[in-house]
Amino acid sequence: MRLAPIVTALILPLAACDSGPSVTATNATQAEVQEKLAASGAGDTIMVQPGRWEGAMTIHEIDVPNMPPEAKEQMRAQLSRTNNFVSCVTEEDVKQQKAFFTGDMDDKSCKYDKFSLSGGKIDASMTCDRGAEGKMAMTMKGDYSADTYRMDMSSRAEGNSPMGAMSMKMSVNAKRVGVCRGTEDES
């Protein structure tokens, strides 16, 4: 399981200047949060510096109650390592203000229970209801600037799996380290 690309796609666009936008929303779709960001002047602000970003994702806790003990220990051993990742943010990405922490705009199953972005801080919780596939709840809290971020996240997924509900707690730290080198996919 490669979580780093997913986490990068959700978090890297967070990086913003401390004087950047101030946005709050409750019970809002991803599109509504995106609209509030646009209305706040986020489009006039460089929300993330282009260049090479390097980071580390650490899973602190994972629980799958009905998983066999041997499989659970193997999964914990694999996921407990710090996973490093690298990505390249281009000038074009910056101009387009891509997916500013609103995820997949076509996914209508998710809503922000709360979303607060202001003064170098983010605090958000989201719930996704995918019908027969199950439900997921996620919280995110952290600090950001134009060239660094730190995020603590937790999630809980419930569905029709014989393994039962799954919960996870993790943290991500990343920073801009210079220009893109063209080797970002080789992390």
Q: Which tens digits make up the pLDDT trace of 84-96?
A: 999 888 888 776 6
Structure tokens at 82: 């710090």
Name the pLDDT band for 187 (thresholds 50, 70, 90). Answer: very low
CA distance linking residue 32 with residue 14, whole number of Å: 17
CA distance linking residue 57 with residue 4, whole number of Å: 7
Q: Which tens digits make up the pLDDT trace of 133-162?
A: 889 999 999 998 888 889 999 999 987 776
